[in-house]
Amino acid sequence: MTTTLARPADSRPDDFAAARRAMIDGQLRTSGVNERFVLDRMGAVAREDFVPDQARGIAYMDRAIRLPDGGFLPAPVFHGKMLEEARPRIADRVLIVDGGSGYLAELVRPLVTSVEAISPTQGAQGEAKLEAADLLLIDGAIEQLPPELVKLVVEDGRVVTGLVERGVTRLATGRKTGQSLSLLPLAEMGIPRLGQFDRPASWSF
């Protein structure tokens, strides 16, 4: 069932609180997201604070919201299922490839030891010089996981991301073993694509 929650741009705080409750009951729970820590965090963080003023009224709709800089705030179900798969631990050092909103970092921050956020360009080109992370979260769908980004994950570290395969986007998880990290596709869902992680175009004759 599809539920779109729109509110006028001049909504009062209690309107947004009601929209968050409706998001939890009408989108997350009905999609199988029931872990208490996920519902608590998504009920506590105001999505309307992570979108432009003109988009605050649609902050709780069940699809991605485009941001002025070309980024996206993904739909609530993506973040809910991502957190359930990631199961952040208090000792975790988390690296987030941010889709542009900063919302995912705010969801995770109280659950872990530290959070570092980098842009998709930094993640794809290996520009970030950071301490290795126990958990890598990618706030969008990628075609490939660059070796430079894999290097920023500790041995046996976990990854949760969106994955693009033949035009279909799915949630995916992985765990680093040695120098390799393969991704296992899970549930199909709508996830904004991070073009910085596309494979180079190839020619065939």
Of the candidates 160, 156, 157, 95, the residue with the CA atom closest to the CA atom of residue 126: 95
Q: How confident is the model at residue 179 (pLDDT cuts 50, 70, 90)?
A: confident
Tokens representing residue 7 in the block: 């509110």
User: What does pTM read for this prediction?
Assistant: 0.90
Question: By the 8 A CB rule, do 136 and 95 touch?
Answer: yes
Cα torsion 102, 193, 120, 29 to 10°: value is 30
Mean pLDDT across 112-138: 90
Can you tell me the distance from the alpha carbon of 65 to that of 58, in angstroms, rounded to the nearest whole number?
A: 8
* pLDDT tens digit sequence for 28-54: 999 999 999 999 999 999 999 999 999
The alpha helices in 7-90, defined as continuous H runs, are: 13-23, 36-44, 76-86
Q: In the chain, where are the structural domains located?
A: 63-197
Can you tell me the distance from the alpha carbon of 52 to that of 102, in angstroms, rounded to the nearest whole number?
A: 12
The β-bridge relationship of strands 93-97 and 114-118 is parallel
162-190 exposure pattern, b = at least 16 Cβ within 10 A, e = fewer: bbbeeeebbbbbbebeeeebebeeeeebe
Can you tell me the distance from the alpha carbon of 180 to that of 177, in angstroms, rounded to the nearest whole number?
A: 6
Residue 55: enclosing H or E segment and its boundaries? none
Mean pLDDT across 73-94: 98
In CATH, which of 3.40.50.150, 3.30.460.80, 3.40.50.970, 2.60.40.1840 is domain 63-197? 3.40.50.150
φ/ψ of 186, rounded to 5, equals -120, -125
Residue predicted with more confidence, 12 or 197: 197
At 7 the pLDDT is 39
Question: By the 8 A CB rule, do 104 and 139 touch?
Answer: yes
Q: Which residues contact 87 (CB under 8 A, 6 or more apart)?
A: none
φ/ψ of 48, rounded to 5, equals -65, -20
